[in-house]
Amino acid sequence: MMVISKAYGQPVPSPDENIPWIITFGNKAHPSWGDPDYSQTFFFVVPESYKGAVYIRVFDPDTGGMHDEVNGSFDTRCTYSVYGGKDAYTHPEAQKVNPKGNLKTGNMLATRTFGVDPRWDNNWYSFGPFDPAQGEHYPQYGGYIFKVVCEGIDGDDGNAYRYFMSTSATENIPIEGGNAFAFEYKFRLHENPNEHSHIYPYVDIDDTRSIRTQNFDWDNDGTIRVTSEVRRELRIVVSGDNVWAQTDFTIIEGEKGKSLNFQFIPKGVRNNNVVISVQNQKGENLKLYSSPIGGVPRYRWGIGSQKATPQQNNNSP
């Protein structure tokens, strides 16, 4: 059984990620705003030991008022849907990053659409309560998995929001041993160059020999570097406006069964929305855990350390 971190992974983004907002645009926005497919999926893991109520809370679920990114006037609607049961996670289509496939596997447990809505502006909305057993039982992760999809179904504005998996409908109370992950992350970078954001792809022990990572619409904003306990620094190709960039690199001894640390160091572009995903050599998407498996990887100078360089860099459509 995989060891789930003891840290609390239920705030999404987490403090370890230091990502200010998840971003989903309405489906009439031009991709150059930073969202090519108007959809974001997260999976929440509830440990087997927890038997109480589960709430999936959304901060600022509306698109309007505070926090959100207006394009002309606010006319965007986003639908949040919570899925559980068989196939919510394990269906192969649910583990892809292209929403043209069927992301909506499993049983829909709740759904709600928000447009401009002062009641939920700068406020928390709670989905639930759910019984943990309504999630998909997945013993390998020691528990039950819920999937939450946010889709921009109308309009052209940017919806900024955050999640929290809670034991309470009215407060953020974490479930000990819980976690969350995504296969692709669409988010806003900080504007302050001193605020670095992170993702932590988990390197599977058996399956991962090399990595391909792709990012979109980075607007050449600063640098992306990969570190681990045994990797001092590897620079990733940073994409420009409305294009993808791709970098391949080899996993080195000491990185398997642990998390990589992708660090995003901005140079100060305002409202820079970006997309990133990480695949293994078989094209399977690595899980980007909010609470990194094995803890935040910190480079340890010494035995086994090396500085690797990208094998191949190119831009792809």
Give the nearer residue to Ca ion in terms of CB position, either 16 or 157: 157
In whole angstroms, the minimum distance from the beta carbon of 221 to Ca ion comes to: 7
Give the nearer residue to Ca ion in terms of CB position, either 75 or 93: 75
Distance CA 19, CA 66 (A): 18
Give the nearer residue to Ca ion in terms of CB position, either 118 or 304: 118
State the residue for tokens 């599977």.
204
In whole angstroms, the minimum distance from the beta carbon of 246 to Ca ion comes to: 17
Distance CA 241, CA 31 (A): 10
**Which residues, 6+ apart, have CB-to-CB distance to 177 below 8 Å?**
4, 5, 6, 47, 49, 50, 142
Binding mask 161-180 for Ca ion (x = CB under 5 A): x-------------------
Task: Verify binding: residue 157, Ca ion, rule CB under 5 A.
Answer: yes
SS3 call for 36: coil
Q: In the set 219, 224, 228, 293, which binds Ca ion (CB under 5 A)?
A: 219
> In this chain, which stretch among 3-11, 131-139, 204-212, 265-273 interacts with Ca ion, using CB under 5 A?
265-273
C-beta pairs of 298-306 under 8 Å, 24+ apart in sequence: 298/227, 298/229, 298/261, 299/227, 299/228, 299/229, 299/230, 299/231, 299/232, 300/229, 300/230, 301/232, 304/230, 304/252, 304/253, 304/254, 305/230, 305/231, 305/232, 306/230, 306/231, 306/232, 306/252
> In this chain, which stretch among 2-10, 130-138, 150-158, 172-180 interacts with Ca ion, using CB under 5 A?
150-158
State the residue for tokens 């391949």.
248
Task: Verify binding: residue 65, Ca ion, rule CB under 5 A.
Answer: yes
> In this chain, which stretch among 87-95, 103-111, 114-122, 281-289 interacts with Ca ion, using CB under 5 A?
114-122
Give the nearer residue to Ca ion in terms of CB position, either 141 or 161: 161
DSSP letter for each residue of 246-275: EEEEE--TT-TTSB-EEEEE----TT-EEE
Task: Verify binding: residue 151, Ca ion, rule CB under 5 A.
Answer: no
Task: Verify binding: residue 310, Ca ion, rule CB under 5 A.
Answer: no
In whole angstroms, the minimum distance from the beta carbon of 290 to Ca ion comes to: 19
State the residue for tokens 């606010």.
74
Task: Verify binding: residue 69, Ca ion, rule CB under 5 A.
Answer: no
In whole angstroms, the minimum distance from the beta carbon of 70 to Ca ion comes to: 6
Q: In the set 48, 93, 121, 248, which binds Ca ion (CB under 5 A)?
A: 121
Question: What sign has the CA pseudo-torsion 291, 179, 79, 118?
Answer: negative
> In this chain, which stretch among 49-57, 59-67, 143-151, 206-214 interacts with Ca ion, using CB under 5 A?
59-67
Chain residues binding Ca ion by CB under 5 A are 34, 60, 62, 65-68, 71-72, 75, 121, 156-157, 159-161, 217, 219, 272-273
